[in-house]
Amino acid sequence: MLDLLVDERDQAFVLYEMLKIDKLCDSPLFAQHSKDLFDMVLNEARKFAVAELAPIASEADRQGCSYDPDKHSVKAPECYHSPYKIFREGEWIAMCDSADVGGQGFPLCLGTAVSELFYAGSFCLYGAAELTHGAAKLIEVFGDNGQKEQFMKKLYSGEWMGTMCLTESNAGSDVGAVKTKAVQNNDGTYSISGTKIFISAGEHDLVENIVHMVLARVEGDPVGSKGISLFIVPKNLVNDDGTPGERNDVFCTGIEHKMGIHGLSTATLNFGDNGKCTGYLLGKQGRGLMEMFHMMNEQRLLVGIEGLAISSTAYLNAVEYTKTRIQGASVSATPGQEGASVPIIQHPDVKRMLLWMKAYVEGCRALTYFTSFCIDNTYISDGKEKKKSQGLVDLLIPVVKAYNTDRSWEITGTAIQCAGGYGYCSDYPFERLARDCKITSIFEGTNGIQAMDLVFRKLARDKLVAFGELISRITKTIEEAKKIEAIVQYANTVQMVKDQLVEIVGYLMSMLKNGKMVDVYAKATPFLEVMGDLALGWMHLWQLSLSYPKLIDLVGVASGEELDQMIDESKEAAFYHGKVLTARYYIGSVLKRSFGKIEQLRSDEFPVLNISDASFAS
Ligand SMILES: Cc1cc2nc3c(=O)[nH]c(=O)nc-3n(C[C@H](O)[C@H](O)[C@H](O)COP(=O)(O)OP(=O)(O)OC[C@H]3O[C@@H](n4cnc5c(N)ncnc54)[C@H](O)[C@@H]3O)c2cc1C
């Protein structure tokens, strides 16, 4: 079966050659694992994604979910039932969680590589499973023993599934505005009432119970985010023996008709229309939003992985398509001897599109896995090291979420372009991938919200501590790269972008000090973009300083006939040559656009801030 999901060799390169994740097994936390075991897990994940998930993606898109208004029920695409069963039996949901909760304790960076494969196979089905993981984790962290026994285990095993219920018609980006109400009952439970909209996997028939994590305000608590609490609200109440019992008063009143992710229901849920919706307080009253952020941070990284995964499969499908589509004579043939038409991958403009996609996919992959690797490091270190790793995670999550997902919209668009008219039609996966990926820049906090989080919380509130650590890591990579003469010019370019970004950060912080907060709001998204550009420049330079010496070791030269011959004969030589050229292209060409973007950040935002609502359209 054709595997066009995630480049296996590139995954191994990032995991083992860049991050050296096998070294994690030296720490007691991961001592039971080994590289062989990691390879086995990746191999099994790939087999499952290729054999069970990828084949159902377009069928699920066509079938979609169907709503029955009489029963308030939703049918998930029929083709999901069998793969979900296999997925559950494979115990994938808790693969990175501790054995105490039924997990297998693998490092998160390995889990990230697995997630990339699963999302690339079926964004919707795996998306629902990952929400389930987030719900289980919330109960693990904030729940009492009874809640863990009743709900967490069944969520981690995938027997039941979970949701996160924040959004209401008046509370989208402004989560603090939720109006859903909770009134305490005599037995300590709460009666929940209100309506949540846009709830992913809010209703479906894949499992016999759905456990909703609901933000609501206890009657009498203050307005705003400080008055919000978090509740567990199961679709079916739970019997003493742990089986699903009486139907709780939470009903789906409709599902959205939407651009993409047709396999995943997006439900409106009414809580307590009959006055009988039972919820259980999770954690502390009034701390609900803080607690929910635990799930949201995990989900934001996962949404970044979604963006990466869709980009990855769009790119690989484009490579495959352009190798087989014959159109037009080669422009490199001697004039007068053009001859027959060639595969379009041979045309320079098509190669440009493919290399552009490859550069972003591989850069985003490295950055995303690195962020997960930092999370693993927070588990195995303490003191200053732990703090540094946590700082990097907090700083990079909004970048991974927003940058990866904005790129995936561009990459899927470029993949459509590579396939021409066929790319626009549904015989190929390109248009579905484009439709599916757009939501990733919207949910889990829009990308605009991520940019504000980055500038105001992760830079300013942190007093640039984590940013300083990031810059010192980038500087180290630049210094290492400068030891290899042939790549010094690329190290210099990354250094220039880094220095200018540091200057811009200083400029933004001084604007904040001078009370120009509104100006900084207007610059947040362009700033995140440049920070992502630099982060990818760093990743590519890191990869270049590993790949260049390997290429020389393998071939002896970095260009010329000998190299061409080796590339034809050796997959490894082709791989490293590809890495070298991709890094050279990104740093030497794409990254240079950041100088213009930085110039834009230096200019004032007078037009943005001063144009009146009335002047936009007359
Ligand atoms: C398919 C789908 C699945 C979803 N799944 C879930 C789910 O499972 N659970 C859940 O709770 N929600 C879910 N959502 C809701 C999603 O998280 C929200 O749509 C998102 O948070 C944005 O809210 P909104 O749609 O109200 O847009 P708005 O908040 O109205 O935002 C519209 C635009 O205005 C910008 N904006 C808004 N406020 C500000 C501000 N203060 N400063 C600057 N710009 C601002 C935004 O960045 C955006 O560009 C889902 C939505 C969809 C469409």
Asked if residue 174 is part of any domain, the answer here is no
> Average pLDDT in the 190-202 region?
98
Instruction: Decide if 549 is inside a domain.
Output: yes
Residues 302, 405: Cα–Cα separation, whole Å: 11
Give pLDDT, residue 33: 98
pLDDT, mean over the chain: 96
pLDDT in tens, 129-178: 999 999 999 999 999 999 999 999 999 999 999 999 999 999 999 999 99
| DSSP string computed for 484-553 | SGGGHHHHHHHHHHHHHHHHHHHHHHHHHHTT-HHHHHHHHHHHHHHHHHHHHHHHHHHHHHHHHHHHHH
- pLDDT of 556: 86
Asked whether residue 480 is domain-assigned, the answer is yes
Q: What is the pLDDT of residue 1?
A: 62
For ligand 1, the distance from its centroid to the CA atom of residue 456, given in whole angstroms, is 19
Ligand 1 atom 4, closest CA: 198
Q: What is the CA radius of gyration of the chain?
A: 25
Q: What does the pLDDT read at residue 296? A: 85
Residue 399 · residue 448 · CB < 8 Å: no
C-beta 449 within 6 A of ligand 1? yes
In this prediction, residue 333 has a pLDDT band, given cuts at 50, 70 and 90, of confident
444 is catalytic: yes
Mapped onto helix, strand or coil, the DSSP state of residue 232 is strand
CA 169 – ligand 1 centroid, Å: 10
User: Does residue 541 belong to any structural domain of this protein?
Assistant: yes
Nearest residue CA, atom 23 of ligand 1? Answer: 172
Is the C-beta atom of 525 inside 6 A of ligand 1? no
486 C-alpha to ligand 1 centroid (Å): 47
**Atom 11, ligand 1: residue with shortest CA distance:** 166
Longest dimension (CA), the chain: 91
Pairing of the two strands 190-200 and 181-184: antiparallel
CB 203 within 8 A of CB 267: yes
> Is 115 inside any structural domain?
no
Strand spans (E) along 385-489: none
Mean pLDDT value of segment 332-349: 85
Q: Alpha carbon of 237 to those of 101, 269, 304, 361: distances in Å?
A: 22, 16, 34, 44
Distance of CA 231 to the CA centre of its chain: 26
Q: Is the CB of 173 under 6 A from ligand 1?
A: yes
Residue 167 CA to ligand 1 center (angstroms) comes to 8
165 Cβ inside 6 Å of ligand 1: yes
Task: Judge whether residue 309 has pLDDT over 90.
Answer: yes
**More confident position, 336 or 614:** 614
Give me the residue label for tokens 């029963």.
71
Q: What is the pLDDT of residues 50-93, one digit of tens each?
A: 999 999 999 999 999 999 999 999 999 999 999 999 999 999 99
- DSSP H or E segment with residue 574: helix 571-585
200 within ligand 1 shell (Cβ under 6 A): yes
Determine the structural domain holding residue 489 and report its residue range.
Answer: 458-612
Q: How confident is the model at residue 211 (pLDDT cuts 50, 70, 90)?
A: very high
Beta carbon of 430 within 6 Å of any ligand 1 atom: no
Tens of pLDDT along 16-40? Answer: 999 999 999 999 999 999 999 999 9
Pairing state between β 181-184 and 210-218: parallel
| Index of the ligand 1 atom closest to the CA of residue 261 | 1
- 334 in a structural domain: no
Identified catalytic residue from 444, 479, 485, 503: 444
Tokens of 582: 């991709």
Mean local confidence (pLDDT), 357-367:
98
Query: Residue 23 carries which side chain, given as an amino acid letter?
Result: K
C-alpha 173 to ligand 1 mean position (Å): 5
- Secondary element (H or E) of residue 194: strand 190-200
Give residue 67's identity as a one-letter amino acid code.
Y
Q: Which residue's CA lies nearest to atom 37 of ligand 1?
A: 173
Enter the DSSP assignment of 615: G
Q: Ligand 1 mean position to 577 CA, how many Å?
A: 42
- What local confidence, expressed as pLDDT, does residue 460 receive? 97
Q: What percent of the chain has pLDDT over 90?
A: 93
User: Read out DSSP for 288-328?
Assistant: HHHHHHHHHHHHHHHHHHHHHHHHHHHHHHHHHHHHH-EEE
CB–CB of 570/473 below 8 Å?
no
573: amino acid identity, one letter: A
What is the CA(198)–ligand 1 centre distance, in A? 9
Could you tell me if residue 482 is inside a domain? yes
Judge whether 483 lies within some domain: yes
* Long-range contacts (CB closer than 8 Å, 24 or more residues apart) made by 417-420: 417/353, 418/318, 418/321, 418/322, 418/344, 418/350, 418/353, 418/354, 419/318, 419/321, 419/322, 419/325, 420/325
Q: pLDDT, tens digit, for every residue of 269-304?
A: 999 999 999 999 999 999 999 999 888 888 999 999
Q: What is the pLDDT of residues 554-595, one digit of tens each?
A: 988 877 888 888 888 899 999 999 999 999 999 999 999 999
The pLDDT of 391-407, averaged and rounded, is 98
Tokens of 215: 């933000």
Which atom of ligand 1 lies at the shortest distance from residue 164's CA?
Answer: 9
Residue 198 CB less than 6 A away from ligand 1: yes
Mean pLDDT confidence for 245-252: 98
Q: How remote is the CA of residue 578 from the centroid of ligand 1, in Å?
A: 39
Domain count across the chain: 1
The span from the CA of 447 to the CA of 31, in Å, is 38
Beta strands 278-282 and 210-218, pairing class: unpaired
Beta carbon of 172 within 6 Å of any ligand 1 atom: yes
Label the pairing between strands 236-238 and 341-343.
Answer: unpaired
Q: Ligand 1 in contact with 65 (CB < 6 A)?
A: no
User: Could you tell me if the CB of 201 is within 6 A of ligand 1?
Assistant: no
Q: Give the whole-angstrom CA distance, residue 202 versus residue 222.
A: 28
Instruction: Decide if pLDDT at 612 tops 80.
Output: yes
- Give CA–CA dist 155/134, Å, rounded: 9
Predicted model pTM: 0.97
- Does the Cβ of 448 fall within 6 Å of ligand 1? yes
Query: Which mutation among 203, 259, 439, 442 tests ligand 1's pocket best, with the greatest number of atoms within 8 A of CB?
Result: 442
How do 266-271 and 236-238 pair as beta strands?
unpaired
The region of weakest confidence among 58-72, 188-202, 209-223, 324-338 is 324-338
Neighbours of 490 (CB within 10 A): 26
Mean pLDDT computed over 518-524: 96
Worst-scoring range by mean pLDDT, 62-76, 328-342, 511-525? 328-342
- Distance (Å) from CA 523 to ligand 1 centroid: 20
Q: Does the beta carbon of 167 lie inside 6 Å of ligand 1?
A: yes
Q: Please choose from 131, 132, 173 the residue to mutate so as to test ligand 1's pocket, defined by most ligand atoms within 8 A of CB.
A: 173
